[in-house]
Amino acid sequence: MYHVGDDGRFSAKESNLDLVEYIGPFPDKSQGDQTAKIELLRTTLTQQTAEIDRLRAEGAAAIERLQAEWQSEFTAAQQLRSENERLQAEIERLRAELLQSEARNTADAEAAEHAARLEGLLDNSREALRELQEDHTEMDHRAEGARSAYLGVIKTLWEMRR
């Protein structure tokens, strides 16, 4: 007779006819029908592979664009922080000068005016920094959303490919 092992292998012990009896008769479909079906499946696979490649390229381009935007926002934020620190130091210096002049009973109106102007500039700088940080946070959320969407598409296409 014949024997099918645990690993799925077939071993014929008596004859090849036993194998035919085990498998059953050959299908009635012509070879042409099977060839057409194989070609259709190959075409579909090729199209799906091209679509996956296109989506990967689009996703990679979007990620690179978002990274470039984030980098420019980050650079601008660093420059604003430096300017903010410089202005803060200037304000502190002017305040110290103002306190010294008040201790000597000589009010320096010009220093106070400059300090007020610099405080206004500092407030403007802080507001600009806050806006930039909000934009930066929004950019991070958009980048994370784009990344999640890209990974979701890749996962879906991978599962379709199986």
pLDDT tens digits, one per residue of 70-110? 898 888 888 888 888 988 998 899 888 878 877 765 555 66
Please give the residue that has the higher pLDDT: either 102 or 61. Answer: 61
**Cα separations (Å) of 43 from 36, 40, 115?**
10, 5, 74
Distance CA 6, CA 9 (A): 7
Q: Does 159 score more than 90 pLDDT?
A: no
The structure tokens 């890749």 sit at 154
Q: How confident is the model at residue 118 (pLDDT cuts 50, 70, 90)?
A: confident
> Could you tell me the pTM of the whole model?
0.34
pLDDT of residue 26: 57
pLDDT tens digits, one per residue of 20-37? 565 555 555 556 677 888
Would you kindly state where each structural domain of the chain is located, as residue ranges?
58-161
